[in-house]
């Protein structure tokens, strides 16, 4: 209660300070924390947002970007945001389960055919509604950002689900992802992104799932001899801020920040599309990993084994939402 009163007071004070905006007053700092490298869709989006805000709201608002888990890992960032230690972040949709079960929808294996389908769903009323799914926890979803579809990397070639049996895979902190790997009789381990390279290098785990840009920028391909192009799941983000901070900004400043964020997201989405092709090609060119292309029959086996996970989570995410998301595939 005391914390809430203090935060509300801080929000009013922040708003009043910004409205007065005397030439000598200090700008409001937006710390944007993320876990990936700068040469990724999210890294590029955050830098674009910083550049736009710092240019357009010079003296009023200043964005500082902290990449590579420098400030907070994804497991801590939302807590830190509620305490006012960081103002913006864009965790993977798989990392919100402590705040809402609804976003688990996006983790269901083989739900989306491609990113265009993801986009159609996210921009629909049902998809936009999910941006509010964390509002009761004091957080506001400002928008979705794409990274791409996930691939399976491993120390062994994975062609059919039986090949994954008994292997250890790092996953993000998502029960759906845990169920997905249990479905193929593998062992899932929830670990922070910052630990993945070392876990793979030391062979503490056998594999992981990620997008081409994360596999490339974090050099996972250098320590994983095989990558199966499975496109079995989605890695997208929600850009979030705290309600206290957001509502504390004067309306005109908030509108400018929102506009800059929308432009930065559009830019990041363009980068995501480019990187899903370019980074894959760079991995192929490196000859460090063999890329395994599944035959339609092999792919059908993964779908058959993993798809029962949908039923397991239907009550938590809602059948209507699953139908709406799946219906966005054309
Ligand atoms: C990210 O892209 O933000 C991290 C994804 C992961 O934890 O695998």
Which residues, 6+ apart, have CB-to-CB distance to 203 below 8 Å? 155
pLDDT in tens, the chain (330 residues): 444 444 454 455 555 545 544 445 899 999 999 999 999 999 999 999 999 999 999 999 999 999 999 999 988 999 999 999 999 999 999 999 999 999 999 999 999 999 999 999 999 999 999 999 999 999 999 999 999 999 999 999 999 999 999 999 999 999 999 999 999 999 999 999 999 999 999 999 999 999 999 999 999 999 999 999 999 999 999 999 999 999 999 999 999 999 999 999 999 999 999 999 999 999 999 999 999 999 999 999 999 999 999 999 999 999 999 999 999 998
Give phi and psi for 138, each to the nearest 5: 90, 15
Burial class (CB in 10 A: 0-12, 13-18, 19+), 179: buried
Is residue 147 in contact with ligand 1, taking CB distance under 6 Å?
yes
User: In order of start, what are the domains of the chain with their CATH numbers?
Assistant: 92-326 (3.40.190.170)
Q: How far is the CA of 189 from the centre of ligand 1 (A)?
A: 14
Number of H helices, E strands in the chain: 13, 9
Q: Measuring CA to CA, which residue among 258, 195, 240, 196 is closest to residue 100?
A: 240
Q: How far is the CA of 34 from the centre of ligand 1 (A)?
A: 9
Q: Is the dihedral of CA 180, 181, 185, 191 positive or negative?
A: negative
Is residue 217 in contact with ligand 1, taking CB distance under 6 Å?
no
- Atom index in ligand 1 nearest the CA of residue 208 equals 8
């Amino acid at each position: 209660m005391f914390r809430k009163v203090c935060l509300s007071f801080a929000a009013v004070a922040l708003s009043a300070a910004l409205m007065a905006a005397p030439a000598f007053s200090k700008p409001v700092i937006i710390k944007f924390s993320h876990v990936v490298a700068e040469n990724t869709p999210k890294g590029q989006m955050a830098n674009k947002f910083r550049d736009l805000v710092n240019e357009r709201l010079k003296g009023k608002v200043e964005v500082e970007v902290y990449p590579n888990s420098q400030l907070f890992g994804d497991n801590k960032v939302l807590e830190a945001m509620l305490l006012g230690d960081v103002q913006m972040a864009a965790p993977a949709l798989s990392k919100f389960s402590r705040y809402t079960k609804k976003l688990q929808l996006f983790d269901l294996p083989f739900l989306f055919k491609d990113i265009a389908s993801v986009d159609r769903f996210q921009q629909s009323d049902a998809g936009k509604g999910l941006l509010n799914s964390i509002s009761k926890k004091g957080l506001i979803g400002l928008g979705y950002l794409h990274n791409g579809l996930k691939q399976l990397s491993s120390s062994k070639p994975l062609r059919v689900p039986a090949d994954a049996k008994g292997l250890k895979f790092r996953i993000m902190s998502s029960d759906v992802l845990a169920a997905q790997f249990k479905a193929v009789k593998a062992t899932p381990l929830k670990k922070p992104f910052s630990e993945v390279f070392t876990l793979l290098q030391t062979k503490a785990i056998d594999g992981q799932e990620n997008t081409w840009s994360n596999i490339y920028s974090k050099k996972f391909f250098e320590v994983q001899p095989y990558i199966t192009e499975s496109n079995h799941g989605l890695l997208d983000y929600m850009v979030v801020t705290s309600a206290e901070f957001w509502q504390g900004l004067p309306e005109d400043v908030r509108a400018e920040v929102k506009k800059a964020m929308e432009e930065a997201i559009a830019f990041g989405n363009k980068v995501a599309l480019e990187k899903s092709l370019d980074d894959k090609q760079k991995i192929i060119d490196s000859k460090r990993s063999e890329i395994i292309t599944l035959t339609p029959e092999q792919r059908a086996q993964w779908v058959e084994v993993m798809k029962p996970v949908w039923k397991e989570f239907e009550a938590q995410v809602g059948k209507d939402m699953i139908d709406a998301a799946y219906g966005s595939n054309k």
